[in-house]
């Protein structure tokens, strides 16, 4: 395992990449309403990255070992889709929940990665509670980040919070180091035991991105009816709803700095000092 420790200039480059990733979500937010299709969201996202920001999508053509190239500029995971949903032509409808996961690359070659949940239309109470609890679970993990803390402290905080709310934590996907590469060491599990795992050091940058299920934690490949597997979409095995939020976080000398913040970032939960969750 080799964890890169970012220098001052590299941290500045990551601040920019991550702010831009968050600004893509800000731009998309007013469009996320009943009737829009995830393919339309994909077009808006790509156009904003390329023609407004001058960034590139990190997901188009992304092909880790064992995968076909991912085809879209972002991931759109609706309802029982846990992650890596591929945009399609089905309109979003009242009561759906959708995760938009955006990763950009700056012209200088740095990656910023973040995702948010959106409730379409009015939304059902159970779905809204799952989304807000998952947001809080992410922040319970972020709150643990400081030099000397260990990765297990983050996972434990997220797992305890989510399970106490009656939900389950997906085990197969995790947060990750990020920088000049999309996925770097370390792996950041969203479950675990306190005081275990890698010790955090100033200059580390990684994502925290818990996937939380309303039902059981097991997952499977997603497909519609008898359709062949698309190679990416992951759904809950029991087809219960799943939610996810993601931030990219820097370990500072005294604690943490959330890098994926911008003017439209949702305010942090009450247990977080407001300035820690607000763009400078």
Question: Residue numbers of the site for ligand MF3 (CB under 6 A)?
Answer: 59, 62, 70, 75, 84, 101, 103, 113, 207, 209, 232, 246
Quote the tokens at residue 100. 């938009």
- Identify any residues that bridge with 112 across adjacent strands, giving them in sequence order: 104
Q: Which is nearer to Co ion, 9 or 246 (CB)?
A: 246
29 class by beta-carbon count within 10 Å (0-12 exposed, 13-18 middle, 19+ buried): middle
Determine the Cα–Cα distance for residues 223 and 81; give it in Å rounded to an integer. Answer: 10
Binding characters for Co ion, 243-262, by CB under 5 A (x = yes) = ---x----------------
Q: Is 115 helix (H, G, I), strand (E, B) or coil?
A: strand
Q: Which is nearer to ligand MF3, 103 or 159 (CB)?
A: 103
Report what 245 binds from Co ion, ligand MF3, none; CB cut-off 5-8 Å by kind: none
Q: Which is nearer to ligand MF3, 159 or 207 (CB)?
A: 207
Q: Which is nearer to Co ion, 136 or 184 (CB)?
A: 184
CB of 8 to ligand MF3, least distance (A): 26
Beta 184-188 vs 97-105: how paired, if at all?
Answer: unpaired
CB of 85 to ligand MF3, least distance (A): 9
Residue 151 backbone phi and psi in degrees, to 5: -55, -35
CB of 59 to ligand MF3, least distance (A): 3
For position 207 contacting Co ion by CB under 5 A, the verdict is yes
Determine the Cα–Cα distance for residues 177 and 6; give it in Å rounded to an integer. Answer: 11
Q: Which is nearer to Co ion, 166 or 219 (CB)?
A: 219
Binding characters for Co ion, 92-111, by CB under 5 A (x = yes) = ---------x----------
* Contacts with 30 (C-beta within 8 Å, 6 or more apart), sequence order: none
- Identify any residues that bridge with 187 across adjacent strands, giving them in sequence order: 176
Q: Radius of gyration (Cα) for the chain, nearest Å?
A: 17
Report what 59 binds from ligand MF3, Co ion, none; CB cut-off 5-8 Å by kind: ligand MF3
Which parts of 112-151 interact with Co ion (CB under 5 A)?
113
Contact 37, 124 (CB under 8 A): no
Query: Residues in the site for Co ion, rule: CB under 5 A?
Result: 101, 113, 207, 246
């Amino acid at each position: 395992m080799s964890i890169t420790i970012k220098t001052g200039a590299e941290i500045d480059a990551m601040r920019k990449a991550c702010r831009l990733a968050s600004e893509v979500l800000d731009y998309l937010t007013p469009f996320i309403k009943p009737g829009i299709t995830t393919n339309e969201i994909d077009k808006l996202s790509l156009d904003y990255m390329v023609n407004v920001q001058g960034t590139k999508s990190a997901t188009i053509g992304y092909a880790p070992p064992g995968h076909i190239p991912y085809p879209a500029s972002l991931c759109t995971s609706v309802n029982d889709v846990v992650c890596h949903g591929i945009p399609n032509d089905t309109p979003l409808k009242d009561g759906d929940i959708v995760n938009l996961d955006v990763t950009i690359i700056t012209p200088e070659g740095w990656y910023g990665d973040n995702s948010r949940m959106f409730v379409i239309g009015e939304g059902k109470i159970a779905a809204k509670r799952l989304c807000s609890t998952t947001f809080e679970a992410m922040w319970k993990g972020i709150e643990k980040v400081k030099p000397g803390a260990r990765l297990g402290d983050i996972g434990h905080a997220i797992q305890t919070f989510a399970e106490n709310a009656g939900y389950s934590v997906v085990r197969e996907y995790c947060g990750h180091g990020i920088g000049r590469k999309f996925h770097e060491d370390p792996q950041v599990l969203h479950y675990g035991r306190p005081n275990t795992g890698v010790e955090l050091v100033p200059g580390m940058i990684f994502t925290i991105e818990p996937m939380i299920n309303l039902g059981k934690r097991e997952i499977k490949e997603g497909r519609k009816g008898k359709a062949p597997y698309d190679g990416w979409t992951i759904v809950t095995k029991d087809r219960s709803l799943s939610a996810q939020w993601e931030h990219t976080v820097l370990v500072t000398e005294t604690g943490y700095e959330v890098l994926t913040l911008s003017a439209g970032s949702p305010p942090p939960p009450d247990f977080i000092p407001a300035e820690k969750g607000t763009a400078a």
